[in-house]
Amino acid sequence: MSFNKMIIVGNLGRDPEMRYTPQGTAVCSFTMATNERRKDKSGEQQDVTTWFKVTVWGKQAETVSKYLTKGRRAYVEGRLHVEEWTDREGKQRHTLEVNATDVHFLDSAQGVEGIPVNQSARPANTSAASSDGGRGGAPDIEDDEIPF
């Protein structure tokens, strides 16, 4: 048995780009950055950023494209793939690419907070006074306004 599962919690580096396959399947791509602090050889703290290319498919891709934007925080779960190529100068390059299976919004964007875009869920109301422990309930919206 083998296992390939990647979890990334970070910020989008650019707005998602939406396109469709010739068969009509939605495909959304964006970059994500993770940051960590490490000590360098001289003992000083340095911020280290790792970039990932993320691809999301189907209905989930359409939702990501609609609600996530550059700088927003997200949780992405999927399979890791290393894409290799040669750049214009003939130098070998590589990109860490994640084929996403689950995406969750971590920031509030357009009234959406913590929505798992792979499930049918209503946008959460950010009212801390709600009876569900501050997670918020569904705002007063019509069913045809729900993007899921």
pLDDT-derived band at 142 (thresholds 50, 70, 90) equals very low
| Per-residue pLDDT, 102 | 95
Tell me the average pLDDT across 85-106: 92
- Domain spans of the chain? 1-32+51-85+96-128
Question: Between the CA of residue 130 and those of 69, 133, 135, what are the distances in Å?
Answer: 27, 6, 7
Digit-coded pLDDT (tens) for 56-85 = 999 999 999 999 999 999 999 999 998 898
| Per-residue pLDDT, 26 | 96
Domain 1-32+51-85+96-128 has CATH 2.40.50.140: yes
Q: Is the pLDDT of residue 148 over 50?
A: no
| Per-residue pLDDT, 27 | 96
The vertex-23 CA angle with 21 and 24, nearest 5°, equals 65
| Per-residue pLDDT, 108 | 64
Q: Which residue(s) pair with 104 in the sheet? A: 75, 116
Q: Is the pLDDT of residue 114 over 70?
A: no
Tell me the average pLDDT across 116-145: 37
φ, ψ of residue 101 in degrees (nearest 5): -110, -25
> What is the residue-averaged pLDDT of the chain?
78
Q: Is the pLDDT of residue 91 over 70?
A: yes
